[in-house]
Chains A and B, each alone.
Chain A
């Protein structure tokens, strides 16, 4: 039982990150490999604010603001000039941005991992199971964020404009939708979700380093592909699935050492059976 809840909680962190990958892919048609490093920046924003003032709420708000602004600036400076360039050029730029962010963090904070004490919630006991309260908080808050995002996309005019841009950029332009602004907004939302993920990550593992975003980033990317890249519910399902599998494998001694291998094998199996991912749609090429 506690393994399942741990898995759901970790999965919801992956899901939040995966949403950033999948939304940017759906709308800007690019893989933003610097997305994992936005999480890293979020953890350092928490570290710095906690050192300066010590209020967790201020630190969380600071992380969200810093990440959102960073996401928007990276899009405007690094990716926007490449609109219409070959996908490979954009991909290499994204990898470059990733290394740039890691190097800047290393310059400022050094390469050593540092402890980040945000909030210590303690734990609760139900009968024979003990649960960390931070796990439950992560699960609940992440669920609220994802529900909010879904409602925003489905029910607001801006959300529908985002769907329109992801489906057909030219036709969206003809409707009067300012496509560039929609893309910028998407980067902002994705980065804010990454900031939330960085806070939840610190609740589970209270330490950071310049490369802290790499592994969760690549796992969330895997989750997005498993769910079907470009699909918002797909990213949520893929993330949860991967988190649960990870925690279940870790709890079984015989499988524990192979946890990461099993996760990535799952990706290969799913892509072999359904190349578009679980909820991905095959797009017809326009004639």
Chain B
């Protein structure tokens, strides 16, 4: 069943049409990768799904509900959390405060502490640094924090925007292992990546975006083996 459906999405920046009628869907339980070069419109799609930037047209549904015009701050309690590009953790707050803000809309106060422990179990380094100001973490640790912060809302769908950006290969592996694990535990994942090889290797399905349009789709494996994609995105 489709958890997230995007139909004919259009986004404009002034006169420039950045997204020119993009449609795709994410089914329950899947990892779906959206790949494309720098400037293809991947982050624009992520931001417009969540209404951080306005749509010029199209329709977005989540669990059958129309969320085309739902304000960003209402989406998280519906079960949709986003790990934004560039991590965007709250630098002046501590690690623990960042995680607690991830659970801002949760009403089950007693269970938030349990979720916090769960995140510390995933990444023990975060527990060690729980009282540390988040701005002092390394890039990889900040990505761990941004991801667990999103998980604190117990999302059904996790949107991840360029999680590998600026990370060392070691951390890239750690983050992708985590995405796989989170998915196995039942969370659906929409993953936007420039690192196409990594993304497609864990994705059930993928979409290829070129200057604001979807040009190809298939299973992760099909796309990995596709000649034109190998040439364009996977380094031959």
Using CB atoms and an 8 Å cutoff, list the residues of chain A in contact with chain B: 157, 160-161, 163-164, 167-168, 170-179, 286-287
A174–B84 touching, CB < 8 Å: yes
Partner of A179, one of B73, B76, B86: B73
How near does chain B come to A182, taking the closest CB pair, in angstroms? Answer: 10
Some 30 contacts from A to B, beta carbons below 8 A apart, are: A157-B104, A160-B93, A163-B90, A163-B93, A164-B93, A167-B92, A170-B47, A170-B88, A171-B84, A172-B101, A173-B71, A174-B72, A174-B76, A174-B81, A174-B82, A174-B84, A174-B150, A175-B73, A175-B105, A176-B73, A176-B74, A176-B75, A176-B77, A176-B104, A176-B105, A177-B104, A178-B71, A179-B73, A286-B86, A287-B86
Q: A163-B92, A167-B91 are in contact. Are A175 and B86 (CB under 8 A)?
A: no
B88–A177 touching, CB < 8 Å: no
How near does chain A come to B161, taking the closest CB pair, in angstroms? Answer: 10
A157-B104, A170-B88 known, 7 other contacts, Cβ within 8 Å = A167-B93, A168-B90, A171-B90, A173-B71, A175-B102, A176-B153, A178-B73
B101–A161 touching, CB < 8 Å: yes
A164–B153 touching, CB < 8 Å: no
Chain B contacts for A177, CB-based, 8 A: 73, 101, 104
A174–B74 touching, CB < 8 Å: no
Chain B residue nearest to A84 in the complex (CB): B54
Q: A168-B88, A173-B73, A176-B73 are in contact. Are A161 and B93 (CB under 8 A)?
A: no
A85 to B176, CA, bound (A): 39
Using CB atoms and an 8 Å cutoff, list the residues of chain B in contact with chain A: 47, 50, 52, 71-77, 81-82, 84, 86, 88-93, 97, 100-102, 104-105, 149-150, 153
A173 to B71, CA, bound (A): 8
Q: A170-B88, A174-B81, A286-B86 are in contact. Are A164 and B101 (CB under 8 A)?
A: yes
Chain B contacts for A161, CB-based, 8 A: 101, 104
Chain B contacts for A178, CB-based, 8 A: 71, 73
Chain A residue nearest to B72 in the complex (CB): A173
Chain B residue nearest to A174 in the complex (CB): B82
From A161, A163, A287, residue with most partner B Cβ within 10 Å: A163
A157 to B105, CA, bound (A): 11
How near does chain B come to A157, taking the closest CB pair, in angstroms? Answer: 7
A177 to B100, CA, bound (A): 12
Chain B residue nearest to A281 in the complex (CB): B92
How near does chain A come to B74, taking the closest CB pair, in angstroms? Answer: 7
Chain A contacts for B71, CB-based, 8 A: 173, 178
How near does chain A come to B78, taking the closest CB pair, in angstroms? Answer: 10
A287 to B85, CA, bound (A): 10
A285 to B234, CA, bound (A): 31
Q: A171-B84, A176-B77, A176-B153 are in contact. Are A160 and B100 (CB under 8 A)?
A: yes
